Amino acid sequence: MTRTLDREAPESRGLLLRIVPPGLYAGRPHVIVERAHLVYRRAWTAFVAGFFEPLFFLLSLGFGFGQLVSEVNGLPYPAFVAPGLLAASAMNGAIFDTTYNLFLKVKYSKVYEAMLNTPMGPIDIAVGEATWALLRGGLYSAGFLVVMFGFGLVTSAWALLALPVCLLIALAFAAVGMAGATFMRSWQDFDLVQLVVLPLFLFSTTFYPLSVYPSWLQAVVQWTPLYHSIELLRALTTGSVGWGALAHVVYLVVMAAAGVLVASRRLGKLLVS
């Protein structure tokens, strides 16, 4: 029987089927993405609303408050702020989608319990939800990139890689947000999400350079995920790309992989056991 199943499985999934225990993965995460698309067809205003927050910050702080600031690290203030807001846009679009929506589906609507009665497993759910959050964060980022180009805030051809990087940022935060949501016990616990996201947004060199902090706080900031996201995008949009950019990429890849792994295991315990 085992040999028959192995022969029927597509060759591209053969290795995965040998590594992942049966029942955890069925190769159908795209169904989660399709379902989310059908749901948001009727709630598209809530979907696109997240684009406007970073735009308002750019107009008010970048071009408003920015009139009082000459340059930051050799950049006009709007050009310094815009990559930070771009990274924050990808983060917000991904993390809020995974945390609140996943908690609702697990705790109240029981959507995933119904899904597990079909040929799907916890890893399908984790990968599917992370993919949808990636797409949502990517759409926010794409719209904001268009605004940056329109205002002349992009000065390098390296900026062509900004959108793929935004997708990686969205995936990393979606995976961690999804993993965190599996530990939530009630809606009050989501105050912790704001407690983490807001300081990241304010202090990860979004609005001012790392040099304004004391040395011990600089070390703390340099370990935060949004800092790596912002520095990577700022390097791409300004053309100051070096080997250090690879360290930022590795950080985000490891973060995404760890988040998906923890989320899939936690979903398996919550929904299967």
> What's residue 6's pLDDT?
42
Cα 208 to its chain centre, rounded Å, is 22
CB 252 within 8 A of CB 228: yes
Task: Give the C-alpha separation, 134 to 197, whole Å.
Answer: 17
Rounded average pLDDT over 168-189 = 86
Residue 19 lies in a domain: no
Torsion region of 9: left, alpha or beta (phi above 0 gives left; psi -120 to 50 gives alpha): beta
| Residue 30 forms part of a structural domain | no
In a domain, 90, yes or no: yes
Torsion sign across C-alpha atoms 102, 103, 105, 106: positive
Stronger pLDDT, 242 or 122, i.e. the higher one: 242
Domain presence at residue 13: no
pLDDT of 253: 94
| Number of folded domains that form the chain | 1
For residue 5, tell me if it sits in a domain: no
Distance CA 199, CA 225 (A): 12
* pTM assigned to the model: 0.78
Within a domain: 172? yes
The identity of residue 138, as a single letter, is G
Answer yes or no: is pLDDT of 261 > 80: yes
Residue 72's SS3 state is: strand
Asked if residue 18 is part of any domain, the answer here is: no
C-alpha atoms less than 13 angstroms from C-alpha of 183 in its C-beta half-sphere = 9
- Full domain range(s) for residue 237: 35-271
Q: What is the mean pLDDT of the chain?
A: 78
Q: Residue 256: inside a domain, yes or no?
A: yes
